[in-house]
Structures are given as C-alpha cells and as structure tokens.
Amino acid sequence: MNQIPLYALLGMICAASGVGFIWLYGSTERRFSRLKLPIALKVALGGLASSAVVLATWFLLPEGNHFAALASVNVGYGFVQAAMLGQIGAGSLTFILVIVLGLSVLVRMVTTSFTIGSGGSAGLFGTSVVVGALIGSTLGGLFHLWLPALVSVPDVAAFAIVGMMSFFGGISKAPLAVLVMVVEMAGGYVLLLPAMLAIFIAYAATGRHHIYSAQVANRLASPAHREELRAWLR
C-alpha cells in the first residue's frame, strides 16, 4: 500500500508520454502525407530516418548500454519478457542504466513514428507495450535508487507490467481490457489495485487523445452499435 502514490505517478507519466507519442506519430504521418512522392520512396525515407536515429543512438551511448538502439529495431518482446521477470538490472541497477532505459522510450517513439508515419508496415500495439514497459522500468528503477527501502529490485518488474498496460490503456482508450491483461501477466490479483489506479489515471488524463485515428468517441458514434441501440430504445 505504501507504493500506491508511486503507481499514481506512473499513471500520470504514462498519460503524458502517451499524449506526446500520439502527437509525434500524428505529426510525422501528416508531414509524410504532404510529400508528393511515390509511396515506396516515402517508406524508404522513413526507414532511412529510423536507421539514422538507431545508428546515432548506438554510437553515442557508452559501451554495454545499447538498450535504446536495440529496443527500437526489433519487436521488443524479449525486453518486455525480461522486464516482467525482473531481469533488467537485477543485482546491478545503476543510474546510467535507468537513464538509458528512459532514452529508449524516446528512441522507440521516434523510430515507430518514422516507420508507420511514412507508410511502412509495423504495429502500434507492440510498440505501445514495449514503450510502456520501458517507462515502468525507468520509473521503477528511479524509485529503487531514490527509495530503496520502499522499492526493491524485484518491484521494478511490477512497475514494468503496470507501466505497459497503463500506457496502452491510455492511448487506446481500452482500460478494462488492459486491466484483465495485468491480472493474466501477474498470475493473480496482487497488482490489481495499483494497476486500476494507474490505468484509470492514464485513461482520464489522456482525455480525448487516442492513437487509433478511426476510433469513434463512443457507442453512439459507432456504426457497429447503432442497430443495437435502436433495438434497445424500441
């Protein structure tokens, strides 16, 4: 229960990061759509820009701290699994590692925006899960460094799980679905209360911002549910 305020802060940071990601992805997509170029060339430019970001990150980081580059060029589920199992920084969680994890959030957002925004093939769900896990691991790592008596190294895994679902739940506007996923990932209800708080905060704080452009505001605006509503009103 002493960690509840920390999970509330995690929800707020996931919301702010989610709104930033939505803006970055949307603005990149709009800029590429204005280019009077063949789609194949647009995709090539997006891939070139993503590669430049990854290479710059790789060469600028110190030796042995290439999480930011690696997390941006593959699916990233391996990192998510390691974060859930508490293997990120196990026994040697340092400030440099936490900073690199935080940098990975930005790098992943930028490369995904270039890839999908240019018309390339990629998924938003996978990226959202990886970014959320990175945010949770970063914040959990900072909490461990600043409040070691309150947050242990194994607790960082819990922050990673709640972080990935809070981030995706906020930008996808699907809080109940991700809450069920938290229970499945944790193998029980131990994270249910902090997850409910963090996910609700992320969902509420993101407001009307969502990552899926075709998503309707509510059921009244959904063609798939109009007949159901009409039948119910009869």
pLDDT tens, residue by residue, 153-181 = 788 888 999 999 999 999 988 888 888 88
Q: Is 141 contained in some domain?
A: yes
Q: Is 213 contained in some domain?
A: no
The structure's pTM equals 0.84
Q: Is 220 contained in some domain?
A: no
Rg, Å, the chain Cα set: 19
Q: Is 56 contained in some domain?
A: yes
Q: Is 28 contained in some domain?
A: yes
pLDDT at 196 over 90: yes
Beta strand spans in the chain (E): none
Which residue in 143, 147, 177, 174 sits closest to 160, CA to CA?
143
Distance of alpha carbon 72 from alpha carbon 60, whole angstroms:
15
Distance of alpha carbon 19 from alpha carbon 167, whole angstroms:
10
Q: Is 18 contained in some domain?
A: yes
Domain that holds residue 13: 4-207
106-129 burial code (b ≥16 CB/10 A, e <16): bbbbbbbbbbbbbbbeeebebbbb
Quick one: pLDDT at residue 125? 84
Contact 14, 166 (CB under 8 A): yes
Contact 169, 128 (CB under 8 A): no
The CATH number of the domain holding residue 60 is 1.10.3080.10
The confidence band for 7, taking pLDDT boundaries of 50, 70 and 90, is very high
The confidence band for 31, taking pLDDT boundaries of 50, 70 and 90, is very high
The confidence band for 141, taking pLDDT boundaries of 50, 70 and 90, is confident
- How many CA atoms lie less than 13 Å away from 6 in the CB half-sphere? 23
pLDDT at 213 over 80: no
Per the listing, tokens 């999908």 go with 116
What are the backbone angles phi and psi of residue 204, rounded to the nearest 5°?
Answer: -70, -40
Contact 211, 21 (CB under 8 A): yes
Q: How many CB atoms lie within 10 A of CB 96?
A: 11
Report the chain's terminal Cα–Cα distance, integer Å: 48
Distance of alpha carbon 135 from alpha carbon 128, whole angstroms:
10
Burial of 44 (0-12, 13-18, 19+ CB in 10 A): middle
Window from 82-91, 110-119, 222-231 with minimum mean pLDDT: 82-91
| Residue-averaged pLDDT of the chain | 83
Average pLDDT of 125-138? 88
Q: Is 122 contained in some domain?
A: yes
Q: Is 228 contained in some domain?
A: no
Task: Tell me how many domains the chain contains.
Answer: 1
